[in-house]
């Protein structure tokens, strides 16, 4: 269990789940959930490289912390946008939000 490839494989599978979710789901909150999965796959990659390859094992942890902060900001903004959209459309289905469609 102590090798890099295993962690990278786990992270690749998580990323693919997130991608499938983003492409398949129509509810905006489900898409946000999938995006969080993809961000976690990226953080897991950072931590794996940090443990096995990096010259300084603090830096990967710091980057993971930064990703968490950005994810928190993104989730706050996205959820408030969903609330505003729900008030407007009475739905959070992404296919109903076509006001800006060209």
Partner 1 sequence: MNGGVLSQGLLPQLAFIVVVGITFCGAIIAVFHRNILYNVLGLALALCGVAGLYVFLGSLFIGLMQLLIYVGAICIAMVFAIMLSRPVHLPKPKRKVSKMATSIFAGLLILGVNVGVIYKTAWQPASERKLDWSVKTIGDFLLTRYVLVFEVISLVLLVAMLGAIIISRYNGRTS
Restricted to residues 54-93, the positions that interact with partner 1 (CB under 8 A) are 54-59, 61-62, 64-66, 68-77, 79-84, 86-88, 91-93
Distance CA(52)–CA(81), nearest Å, equals: 40
Indicate whether 1 belongs to the interface with partner 1 (CB under 8 A). yes
Site for partner 1 in 16-35 (CB under 8 A): 16-21, 23-27, 29-30, 32-34
The least distance separating partner 1 from the CB of residue 102, rounded to whole angstroms, comes to 20
User: HSE (CB half, 13 Å, CA atoms) of 15?
Assistant: 12
Distance CA(4)–CA(52), nearest Å, equals: 6
The least distance separating partner 1 from the CB of residue 53, rounded to whole angstroms, comes to 5
Residue 59 in tokens: 């830096």
């Amino acid at each position: 269990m102590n090798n890099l490839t295993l962690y990278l494989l786990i992270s690749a599978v998580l990323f693919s789940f997130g991608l499938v979710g983003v492409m398949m789901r129509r509810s905006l909150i489900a898409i946000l959930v999938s995006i969080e999965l993809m961000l976690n796959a990226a953080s897991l990659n950072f931590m794996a490289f940090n443990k096995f390859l990096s010259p300084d094992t603090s830096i990967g942890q710091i980057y993971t912390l930064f990703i968490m902060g950005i994810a928190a900001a993104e989730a706050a903004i996205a959820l408030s946008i969903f609330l505003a959209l729900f008030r407007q459309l009475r739905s959070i289905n992404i296919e109903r939000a076509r006001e800006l469609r060209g």
